[in-house]
Amino acid sequence: MNLSTMLILLVGIDRVMSVKFLVTYSRLNPCFYVPSLILIALVYCSALNLLAYFTRTDELTMCLVPEAYTGLGKNVAFSSHLLINILVLVTYSYLTRIMKKSGGEAGQKIVKSLRAVVLCTVFGWFITFLMCNTAMMLTKNKNVLLATDMVAGFFACTHTALPFFIYFWKSSIYRQEFCRILPFFRRVAESYGAQSSMARIQPSAITPSQISSRNPS
């Protein structure tokens, strides 16, 4: 949960950099750049776990994922997750707007894939942590908080179980890669008339000057 949430944000920032700062991005050494992103996510996860350990309380807990955190650790974890998910929505929405301006068939397919990410984020972790943080601000009643965690858990499970199928259905780019890795899904895609979209997309670099030329205002 902690790792995937941070990685989604970092991937979004990476995509924005690849479009807005193409020259600088092309000079980055992937041998150092990619491990650095992973290290940032791991540091975030480790910091939350250490905080949760050193600020744990003796209160009774139920066997629920959110109950792994108590006290200050829970407040910080839930608040930071909500903030990260807001940043994810802002980042991917901004990236979607950039790709719309680029035009072209490949650009439109990328827009669809970005919309799929936003859709899964909104109805997944964002609603989950929005509900949990709201409940924590409004009440201290343990039963109410547990009930909220259980309801919010539905959206958390949705985010865990459904993105694969949503990406497969909504985005030809994701569908192409899924079928490349899992040949079984190629037959599924072809049975739904998606055979024409299975051709490999050759991405082209989009420079900031190209984007600005399409939008003089």
Q: Look-up: residue for tokens 């996860």?
A: 45
Q: Is residue 211 part of a domain?
A: no
Q: Is residue 9 part of a domain?
A: yes
Q: Is residue 215 part of a domain?
A: no
Q: Is residue 217 part of a domain?
A: no
Neighbours of 187 (CB within 10 A): 9
Predicted confidence pLDDT, tens digits, the chain (217 residues):
778 888 888 988 988 888 888 888 888 888 899 899 999 999 999 998 899 888 887 776 666 666 677 788 888 988 999 999 899 889 888 888 888 777 666 667 777 777 777 877 888 888 888 988 898 899 888 888 888 888 887 887 777 777 777 777 767 777 777 777 777 666 665 665 544 444 444 444 445 554 455 455 4
Q: Do 215 and 101 form a contact (C-beta atoms < 8 A)?
A: yes
Q: Do 59 and 140 form a contact (C-beta atoms < 8 A)?
A: no
Q: Is residue 93 part of a domain?
A: yes
Q: Is residue 212 part of a domain?
A: no
Q: Is residue 203 part of a domain?
A: no
Residue 35 structural domain: 1-197
Task: Give the pLDDT of residue 47.
Answer: 92
Task: Give the pLDDT of residue 39.
Answer: 94
Three-class SS string for the chain? CHHHHHHHHHHHHHHHHHHHCHHHHHCCCHHHHHHHHHHHHHHHHHHHHHHHHHCCCCCCCCCCHHHHCCHHHHHHHHHHHHHHHHHHHHHHHHHHHHHHHHCCHHHHHHHHHHHHHHHHHHHHHHHHHHHHHHHHHHCCCHHHHHHHHHHHHHHHHHHHHCHHHHHHHHCHHHHHHHHHHCCHHHHHHHHCCCHHHHCCCCCCCCCHHHHHHHCCC
Give CA–CA dist 108/116, Å, rounded: 13
Task: Give the pLDDT of residue 197.
Answer: 44
Provide the number of structural domains found in the chain.
Answer: 1
pTM: 0.71
Q: Is residue 41 part of a domain?
A: yes
Q: Which two tokens stand for residue 160?
A: 């865990």
Neighbours of 201 (CB within 10 A): 14
Q: Do 12 and 92 form a contact (C-beta atoms < 8 A)?
A: yes
